[in-house]
A and B are shown apart, each in its own frame.
Chain A
């Protein structure tokens, strides 16, 4: 089945230790998104890639970076995680950037910062 896969499902890191979260997709979609979802809150868009074109949200901290080496994979790098970065990180894809396009979500990676 075509899907959005996130690894790992659970990640524990130490305060200030860089961490990378992974997302892959078999849908061959052009757009990949990263959302941060804190407990009992709505998902918040961090950035997205349209093909290789990177689009950062204005309020995304510099501590968060992303890489998309090819169509299938996208990575979220947190350079120096703080306690406030503990959250669920959701990857999503869409075929294109049209407004009616559905976004398909992965299961998420729950990040714990010690």
Chain B
């Protein structure tokens, strides 16, 4: 069974600084997708960034980028130039190529300090 592990329950970063959130996963599959979702306080979860396992190039979306290490089964999220609006719970998620089921990690609560 696939599992997703986020080892940092909470993190804090100063505004304008860079922070990296860690995520590891376990699967025996070769075809899968990885996601980072953001859940702000009392607001809905939104997709931050997505990575296809067959792509070697790391995905980037504006200030958000990932470091995808397929052999190590690692998928970290880097947030550059952190903003107060980045304060949220961040979930790493895995989706098998064979199913449409999202498997979430336990989340990392990120606080951006002014």
| A-B residue pairs, 4 tightest by C-beta | A42-B104, A105-B45, A97-B100, A107-B44
Name B's A-contacting residues (CB within 8 A): 4, 9, 31-33, 35, 37, 42-47, 50, 52, 91, 95-102, 104-107
* A interface residue count range (under 10 / 10 to 19 / 20 to 34 / 35 or more): 20 to 34
Question: Would you call A42 and B45 a contact (CB within 8 A)?
Answer: no
Question: Would you call A107 and B43 a contact (CB within 8 A)?
Answer: yes
Question: Would you call B50 and A103 a contact (CB within 8 A)?
Answer: no
Question: Would you call A99 and B95 a contact (CB within 8 A)?
Answer: yes
The DSSP consensus for interface residues of chain A is: loop
A10 to chain B, nearest CB (A): 10
21 contacting pairs across A/B (C-beta < 8 A):
A4-B44, A31-B100, A40-B106, A40-B107, A42-B104, A45-B101, A92-B45, A98-B100, A99-B95, A99-B97, A99-B98, A100-B33, A100-B95, A101-B100, A102-B35, A102-B47, A102-B50, A103-B102, A105-B44, A107-B43, A108-B44
